[in-house]
Amino acid sequence: MAASNTVDSAPGTTQAWSPRLALLVAATFFMEFLDGTVLTTAIPNIAADFHVPAADVNITMTAYLLTVAMGIPFSGWLAERLGARRVFCLAIAIFTLASLACSLSQDLTLLTLSRVVQGFGGAMMVPVGTLLVLRGTPKADLLRATAFLVWPGLLAPVLAPLVGGALTTYLSWHWIFLINLPLGVAAFIAALRLVPSVAGDRDRRLDWLGLLLTTLGVGAVVVGLELVSTHPEAAWAALSAGLGLVFLTCAVLWMRRAPHPLFDLGVFRTRTFRAMATGGFAYRLTISSVPFLLPLMFQAGFGWSPLHAGAMVAAVFIGNIGIKPATTPLIRRFGFRAMLVFASLASAATFALCALLTPDTPQPLTFALLVCSGAFRSIGFSAYASVQYADIAPAQLTSANSVSATLVQLATGSGIAVGALLIRVFDGLSTFPDDSAGPFRGAFLAMTVLMLASTADSLFLPRHAGAEVSQRKAQRV
């Protein structure tokens, strides 16, 4: 029995699976994910306070997301060098203090700089927190552990408009950051108590060239995606994204021959991990577009009020939460491949049905559709979050975790950018004349096709992929 509850995490150390630690890490993730998008609803108020155009305030969101994405590759090495506990606590402290600085900012420049610092703290919290949980979790409990870590990414994009709108309306935009203070202090104290202390490797060398190429590549791609979503007609968008891909390609070529590479790219030889970078990337991209496309279609296409649209999109949140207790039993019963195929096919079906919605569609029917969409979304997220680490060797865990966190950030940004680009494309094509919701219908249909690419990739997974984690084979013996 002891073998199922402990796992070797580092030479000479043994850790037990800790639900409290997983919950702590999930809470910090929620703060980081929420702050990535919650500012959207407060932009008009911030612009009015700072006496600047509302469009200029977008730089605070871009700076935050850019810093998070660019900081992730460095955080993995830092955790190995200084120790994951020390870096995780430092990340919480930086994030909390930067939140205070954001609330005290008197102009856009100070707010943007504070958001950069906050983003750096967030960049360390996500991958290092995940690493702490994974190192202390045996394969048999990996599904349970990732169930804790998945929910922030599912809920934050859906709750952000409601939380931001409520705080801005009834208090002020400053409270978007001030609420992080008690949460951050509580998380810091809990981290000191719950996170086990493991000494870092002071002799671990940093691959400076690999870090430079990776950071520049990720940064250029994120900037390109941001430009695509805001100014898709600008040539700079394609140029930045293309340059980023060149940098990332050079980084891969360098790390394949470097004596001490930033990442161990051998993780991609593991089929279950590679699924996260192929079908999983397509899945996250399409799923991430939904919280962006739905409110816009309901408001610009159907003429609904922001409150009406937000209340309807909350149905996705209900689906996410409602299915969560069943995701682990379903994966254990049917296996990863079957559930990934089901989640992607079912999600594609809901996208196609969203394209058929009209203002006259009965409200309960629309609500039920979005609940189902949220449920399928939750199943897919949980399955990918677990299967990617199912066959990763302990020595490769840090590299796998950092690569995964980086790709997740890129997939999320790509979903919003691709969604915005599709709306503009279908608007220009006039595919749905005399239909104000036409461009959104076209975008949902395109996302349906893209989701089917994820289905195709999952079909090629081995039948018993990740069986050590799902324990499906053991159940049938």
**Angle, vertex CA 473, rays to CA 469 and CA 476, nearest 5:** 135
Q: What is the DSSP string of 68-97?
A: HHHHHHHHHHHHHHH-HHHHHHHHHHHHHH
Q: Are 455 and 345 in contact, with CB atoms under 8 Å apart?
A: yes
Q: What is the pLDDT of residue 164?
A: 73
Distance, in Å, from the CA atom of 197 to the CA atom of 399, rounded to the nearest integer, reads 20
Q: What is the pLDDT of residue 72?
A: 83
Structure tokens at 241: 């994204």
Helical segments of 231-278, H only: 235-255, 271-277
Rounded to the nearest 5°, which phi and psi values hold at 16? Answer: -100, 150
Instruction: Print pLDDT tens along the chain (477 aa).
Output: 333 333 334 443 444 567 788 888 888 888 777 777 677 667 777 888 888 876 677 778 778 878 888 888 888 788 877 887 888 899 999 999 999 998 888 888 888 899 899 988 888 888 888 888 877 777 777 777 777 777 776 667 667 766 777 777 778 788 888 888 988 899 899 888 887 777 666 667 878 888 899 889 888 888 887 777 666 666 777 788 888 889 989 988 988 888 888 888 888 888 888 888 888 899 988 988 887 788 888 888 888 887 788 778 888 888 888 888 888 888 888 888 889 999 999 999 999 999 998 888 898 999 999 999 989 988 988 888 888 888 888 788 888 888 888 888 888 778 877 888 888 888 777 666 677 888 888 899 999 999 999 999 888 888 887 777 666 654 443
Per-residue model confidence as pLDDT tens digits over 289-339: 887 788 888 888 888 887 788 778 888 888 888 888 888 888 888 888 889
Q: What is the pLDDT of residue 476?
A: 43
Distance, in Å, from the CA atom of 4 to the CA atom of 137, rounded to the nearest integer, reads 9
Sign of the Cα torsion 410, 310, 443, 240 reads negative
Residue carrying the six token digits 């190192």: 135
Q: What is the pLDDT of residue 418?
A: 83
* Residues 6 or more apart in contact with residue 21 via CB below 8 angstroms: 132, 133, 136, 194, 195
C-alpha torsion angle, residues 395, 399, 402, 403 (rounded to 10)? -140
Structure tokens at 210: 């690999």
Q: What is the pLDDT of residue 471?
A: 65
Q: What is the pLDDT of residue 344?
A: 93
* Cβ burial, residue 83 (10 Å; 0-12/13-18/19+): buried
3-class DSSP state of 390: coil
Q: Are 83 and 199 in contact, with CB atoms under 8 Å apart?
A: yes
Element spanning 182, H or E:
helix 180-194
Element spanning 7, H or E:
strand 6-10
Distance, in Å, from the CA atom of 220 to the CA atom of 241, rounded to the nearest integer, reads 6
